[in-house]
């Protein structure tokens, strides 16, 4: 499966995602349209694009009069069709994430029930466990929205966290297979570091002729916006503190973004196979020193 995309290939996928909603049925359509790309890559691209779209339009959906309109419509249609996925259909009709629609409607329901703003703790617990909602029809609608949203919501958050952890474990396993000595994020925190990459190599390696002191694992696709954000908020600070490093975008990236190699940041879409372990003594003068 193709993971590293040209900018033209990426833009073609993005153009096609504009007409899609964040449902599993739409993800199936996306995979059928681009069979040479992995489902994980396509889902990651769609998720990033849909989040951008949501940020542009969410304030409109979150206006008090719009919320009230959505809520009254939900009440009316749920009364007429108590077993239908009313909320999911409404979310798709107005082009809002089903999970975000569920949050808005549940929040409005609880305001009417409690006579004030519900706490985030109560709201989040009911979204995670709809059986806690004291209205069975609403609980069913919230559940339908949660399980049919592939970009937002508590189920997606859990899946993303698990996938991120899974790839960090995979990275550690690959390093151990190569008998490479390293410190992971947890060990570095114990040592007093606050902002660190996932892996610091105790003895640097060379990948495709480039020295690597650290490795960052990203279980996502690297597009322009996310990569630029990571560069500014993470990668350059790692480079300043620890020297040159490697970023693995497990679900691929736009090939043209791999343009910082000479400055010390290398991009890959899998664990490198052509690793050369550098002599510790020969590299000692190049190793970054922890500032006092």
Total H helices, total E strands in the chain: 13, 8
Query: Half-sphere exposure of 194 toward its Cβ, with a 13 Å CA cutoff?
Result: 1
State the pLDDT at residue 207. 95
What local confidence, expressed as pLDDT, does residue 282 receive? 43
> β-strands 199-207, 275-277: how paired?
antiparallel
Closest by CA to 139, choosing from 109, 97, 94, is 109
* Residue 57 parent element (H or E): helix 39-61
DSSP letters along 11-40, please?
HHHHHHHTT--SSHHHHHHHHHH-TTB-HH
Q: Two tokens at 53?
A: 């779209």
Do residues 116 and 123 touch, judged by C-beta distance below 8 A? no
pLDDT in tens, the chain (292 residues): 778 999 999 999 999 998 888 877 888 899 999 999 999 999 999 999 999 988 888 888 889 999 999 999 999 999 999 999 999 999 999 989 999 999 999 999 999 887 788 899 999 999 999 999 999 999 999 999 999 998 899 999 999 999 999 999 999 999 999 999 999 988 988 888 888 999 999 999 999 999 999 999 999 999 999 999 999 999 999 999 999 999 999 999 999 999 999 999 999 999 999 899 876 434 444 444 444 4
**What does the block give as tokens for 7?**
């900018």
- The structure's pTM equals 0.86
- Quick one: pLDDT at residue 272? 94
Two tokens at 111? 């305001």
Query: What pLDDT is stored for residue 167 in this prediction?
Result: 96
């Amino acid at each position: 499966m193709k993971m590293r995309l040209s900018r033209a290939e990426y833009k073609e996928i993005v153009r096609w995602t504009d007409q899609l909603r964040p449902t599993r049925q739409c993800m199936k359509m996306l995979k059928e349209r681009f069979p040479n790309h992995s489902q994980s890559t396509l889902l990651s691209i769609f998720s990033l694009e849909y989040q951008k779209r949501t940020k542009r339009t969410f304030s409109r959906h979150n206006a008090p009069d719009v919320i009230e309109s959505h809520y009254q419509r939900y009440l009316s249609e749920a009364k007429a069709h108590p077993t239908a996925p009313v909320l999911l259909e409404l979310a798709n009709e107005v082009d809002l994430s089903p999970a975000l629609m569920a949050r808005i409607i549940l929040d409005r329901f609880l305001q009417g029930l409690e006579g004030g703003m519900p706490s985030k703790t109560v709201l989040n617990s009911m979204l995670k466990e709809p059986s806690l909602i004291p209205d069975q029809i609403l609980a069913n609608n919230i559940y339908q929205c949660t399980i049919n949203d592939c970009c937002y919501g508590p189920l997606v958050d859990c899946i993303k966290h698990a996938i991120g952890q899974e790839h960090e474990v995979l990275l550690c396993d690959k390093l151990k297979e190569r008998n490479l000595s390293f410190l992971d994020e947890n060990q570095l925190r114990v040592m007093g570091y606050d902002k660190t990459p996932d892996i610091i190599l105790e003895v640097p390696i060379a990948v495709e002729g480039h020295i690597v002191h650290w490795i960052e694992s990203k279980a996502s696709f690297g597009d322009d916006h996310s990569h630029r954000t990571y560069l500014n908020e993470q990668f350059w600070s790692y480079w300043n503190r620890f020297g040159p490093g490697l970023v693995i975008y497990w679900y691929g990236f736009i090939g043209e973004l791999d343009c910082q190699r000479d400055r010390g940041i290398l991009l890959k879409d899998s664990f490198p196979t052509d690793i050369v372990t550098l002599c510790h003594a020969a590299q000692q003068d190049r190793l970054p020193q922890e500032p006092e």
